[in-house]
């Protein structure tokens, strides 16, 4: 069901510093900051030859990323994202196996303007999983 790794998301306490570190020290191609109000985050994507890194920064006081940073002030890996061909079929199969979909269970549009869902970390060895339809 899952396809390629789309990205690894890292919550960061300073978005500009993270972007500059990857751009300067690692020589990475770093995209612009993009506000995602529906998800309560500002994101920056770092392009790699085989995948992407997504920096997450809180957008507003109610951001779930702020809760993560309150517990992990230095930041850290927040989630991993896998591609799927059909997000509704993937959701239905996962729910049938007992996996929990966060939110209301319906896909939202993510940072790549494609449907996404998040799966409960307690159902996947403590890792928050994002599925993105390709």
Instruction: Give phi and psi for 65, each to the nearest 5.
Output: -70, -30
Helix (H) or strand (E) run with residue 91 in it: helix 87-96
Whether residue 130 lies in the annotated active site: yes
Pairing of strands 5-11, 128-133: unpaired
Residues contacting 125, CB < 8 A, separation 6+: none
Catalytic residue, from 20, 62, 106, 130: name it: 130
126 burial (CB, 10 Å; 0-12 / 13-18 / 19+) is exposed
Question: Using CA atoms, how far apart are residues 40 and 5, in angstroms rounded to an integer?
Answer: 23
Residues involved in catalysis: 130
């Amino acid at each position: 069901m899952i396809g390629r790794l789309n990205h690894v998301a890292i919550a960061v306490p300073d978005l500009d510093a993270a972007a500059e570190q990857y751009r300067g020290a690692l020589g990475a191609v770093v995209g612009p900051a993009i506000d995602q109000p529906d998800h309560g985050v500002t994101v920056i994507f770092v392009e790699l030859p085989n995948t992407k890194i997504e920096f997450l920064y809180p957008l507003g006081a109610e951001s779930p990323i702020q809760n993560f940073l309150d517990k992990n002030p230095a930041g850290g890996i927040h989630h991993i994202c896998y591609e799927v061909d059909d997000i509704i079929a993937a959701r239905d199969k996962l729910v049938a196996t007992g996996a929990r979909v966060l939110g209301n269970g319906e896909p939202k549009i993510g940072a790549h303007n494609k449907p996404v869902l998040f799966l409960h970390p307690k159902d996947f060895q403590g890792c928050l999983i994002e599925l993105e339809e390709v």
